[in-house]
Structure formats: structure tokens, C-alpha cells
Structure 1
Amino acid sequence: MSALAAKITKALTRNHEATSDFDLNPGTVLPVERELRSAGVLIGIETFDTVPQVILTKRSSALKHHPGQIAFPGGKVDAGDRDVTDAALREAWEEIALPRDLPRILGQLPAHETVTGFQVTPVVALIERPFEVRAEVGEVAEVFRAPLAHVLDIERYQIQSRRWRKTRRHYFTVPFGPYYIWGATARMLRGFASMMDAT
């Protein structure tokens, strides 16, 4: 096992609390009867190049949920999926043509609740060989990479805010070049960075 794989695996075995889009908004009152839909996303880390990089996508502006935002490949768990990992791998194949047998799964981050009613489980995996990226038409506008060192650097994270549904909502951001990484994606990455920092 590589040093990076060993460090990530060790970090993922530590006990950490689940996260949510409401972490920075403690006054938010959530309906007790709310039903969260299960989803899985893939934090795919490419390790075959000079520096490890995380695969990210820019979602189509035509999508119902999180249009135009930066996201991990992934989506809701369908009836045919065995679990969240299976869903993440299926969605990564559909969205960016990542072969299902290519990622080496290392583990999962704690689940993350989104404002749109999903309970998202981030699945962390190493991608040790190149593959031909094909963005799914109508769902993925762009596929790009961000250096792992960039998203694991806690000092790069900022807290910003905007008005949402008549209230001011605070959230994490971790900008990278022309890409504004914020919201759920930034929060999950921030949690990953904290876990790695503690290892």
C-alpha cells in the first residue's frame, strides 16, 4: 500500500461526526418528519500523474438540483444499486465514463445532509491508471481536476454567505482557479481535510 493510501485509510477509520449544509447555520429549524434520500458520490483521487488530483465536475445549468455547481461524480441510490458505493461507481461511469472496476475503494467519509434533502455518503478511492473521460451530455458541463494538496489545505477554506429562501446562509468555499467550489462539495472536502490533518 502506498503512503498516501495508508494515510487516507487511517484517517477514514477515525470516528467523525456527520456533516450537513446547516453546520454553519445553527439556527436553522429542520422539519422532524423530513425524509432524506440516500446518495453516493465518488472522491476519486488520481495518483498516476506528477501530483495526486481529485476529479470534479461542473454540473449542467439545466439540472433541477444544484445547476452549474461544482460536484463530485455521483447521485442518488437507485433500486438496482447494492449500496452507496455501488451508486457512486455507477454514477461515475454514467457521468464521466470512469470504468467501475478502476477505482480502488479506501473507505467512506461520514454522511452529509444537503439542503435539497439528500443524505450523501462520499466514497474515497484511488484511481491509479488513466481513463478516457467522456462527460455525460445534459448532466455534466465539464470535468476537471484539482490538486489533492489544494483541497486538503485547511487554510484555503473560507466562509461566505448569501441569501437563500429569505434567510442568510453561510457555507464553506475553496476556490480553485476559475472554479468556485462551495456548498456541499466544499463542506465534504473540508471534512476530509480535517480528517487528514489529524492523521
Structure 2
Amino acid sequence: MERAGVPEAERHLDEDGLIARIAGRLLRRPQAFDGIHSLTPDWLPDVAHDRPPVPAAVLIALVRRSAGLSVLYTERSPSLRSHSGQIAFPGGKIDPTDQDAADAALREAGEEVGLVRDDARVLGYLPLYYTGTNYLITPVVAAITPRAPFVPNPSEVRSVFEVPLDYLLSPASFTTFSVRRGEQEHTTWQITHAGLVIWGITANLTRRFHDIALGPETG
């Protein structure tokens, strides 16, 4: 099979090179949490939190497809109490039984979309992301060679879709908009693709992944 005139074997070599470049720009281990004073939340709540942040992990999955690499997203179920109907990466709270953030992210992806753990190869981690809702998120980046289609768990996920990595390579794919929460107004990144709007935490993490891992080689 060919894509844009490129033989499949050559395309896979290109993908392997890109994946290796991405892996080389990521943290080898999850960033250690050294105190809330060292982090700035993505927005400031009107009342400061009086409890430690909740550890969580999300999976930024680079999926190998015949058309090239793509990034996996979910549309959350409208019945969920938190962030219902929004676009998100697979993920959730890190449970006490999880070995680490990668274990949590892969477990959640299995529960939400049926990801087979053996289909994933963890490449590394992005820096911690602290939310105004007091979650401390470790983004886990993995290369996925799926052996079966992703199937959304209807209790958590309404739909599953993928955005071509080529689309996310371009800074022009990102815009910003303002969100007001009570008396506070803040700006988030936004990505529009195939009629869907990715914004908030998920768009911010996608942009951070773009800035850290997807930029061209320098020097």
C-alpha cells in the first residue's frame, strides 16, 4: 500500500524515525511532584484548594494506520457528571493499585476504548500539568499498533476518533479562545477537526506535546 506516492516500507521507516525523534524529546520517567508551589494551574479558582492535588494520568496515543500516524481522542459520555460530552484523552485518576502513571493511563485506555496493553509501547512523558480543578496530570506518550478496532465503553465514552499527526504538526491547526469561570477569565488552546472542537485541558496538552515533541530538528 502507498500513501502520497511513498511505498509502505519507506513510509514505515519515516514513521519509525519520527517516533524515535519524539521519544528523544520526552521525559524518560514521570516528573516528580515537589510541591504545589512549583506549579501554576491552567486557571486560578476563586477559592484556593485546601487539599493536595489528585494524581491523574492521560494517554497520548500515536496510532499506526495505513494512512500514517494519528492521535487518539475520545468524546466523553453525556451522562458523566464531570466534563460530560467534552473531548478528552483516555485517562483518569491514578489508583493505589497502579504501578505508575503509565500503568494508570494504559489501564484507563483499556477500560474506556478497549486498548490492548500489549499493543502499546510507552515512549516517555510530558511535564506535569496542574489543573484549576486540582488535578495533577502526567501525560503518557505511547506508540500504538492496534490489533483490533477501538471500541468505546458506553458508560464513559460516547465516541472514539483520531486526528492525523500531520494535522497537529502545523501550528496553524491551533487557535485560542477565552473562557470565563465566575470572575476569572483565561485563555485555552483550541483545535477544530472534522466538525469537532478540542479545547481546554486536552487542547492545552496537545499543544504542549506539539511544542515539546513535534517541532523540526534544529542545528
Q: Return the TM-score normalized by structure 2.
A: 0.80
Larger RCO (CA within 8 A; separation ≥ 6): 1
Q: Distance in 2 between matches of 1:100 and 1:197?
A: 28
Q: Distance in 1 between matches of 2:19 and 2:198?
A: 24
Residue 203 of structure 2 corresponds to: 186
Residue 21 of structure 1 corresponds to: 42
Residue 40 of structure 1 corresponds to: 57
Judging changes above 3 Å, is the alpha-carbon distance between structure 1 residues 20 and 10 closer, same or farther for their aligned structure 2 residues? Answer: farther
Write out the 4+ residue segments of structure 1 that deviate beyond 4 Å after TM superposition.
16-20, 27-30
Judging changes above 3 Å, is the alpha-carbon distance between structure 1 residues 150 and 64 closer, same or farther for their aligned structure 2 residues? Answer: same
SS for the counterpart of 1:185 is: helix
In the alignment, is the contact (CA less than 8 A) between 1:102 and 1:129 conserved in 2? yes
Residue number among 94, 114, 134 corresponding to 1:117 in the alignment: 134
Superposition deviation, residue 155 in structure 1? 2.2
Residue number among 13, 21, 31 corresponding to 1:7 in the alignment: 21
RMSD: 2.4
Superposition deviation, residue 34 in structure 1? 4.2
In the alignment, is the contact (CA less than 8 A) between 1:20 and 1:184 conserved in 2? no
Residue 197 of structure 1 corresponds to: 215
Q: Return the TM-score normalized by structure 1.
A: 0.88
Residue 152 of structure 1 corresponds to: 169
Q: Distance in 2 between matches of 1:61 and 1:176?
A: 20
Superposition deviation, residue 19 in structure 1? 7.2
Larger radius of gyration: 2
Percent of paired sites with the same residue: 37
Judging changes above 3 Å, is the alpha-carbon distance between structure 1 residues 150 and 55 closer, same or farther for their aligned structure 2 residues? Answer: same
Residue number among 59, 73, 77 corresponding to 2:94 in the alignment: 77
SS for the counterpart of 1:44 is: strand
> Which consecutive unaligned segments of at least 5 residues does structure 1 have?
none
Superposition deviation, residue 115 in structure 1? 2.3
Q: Which has the higher helix share?
A: 2
In the alignment, is the contact (CA less than 8 A) between 1:154 and 1:194 conserved in 2? no
Superposition deviation, residue 87 in structure 1? 0.5
Residue 136 (1) aligns with residue 153 (2): yes
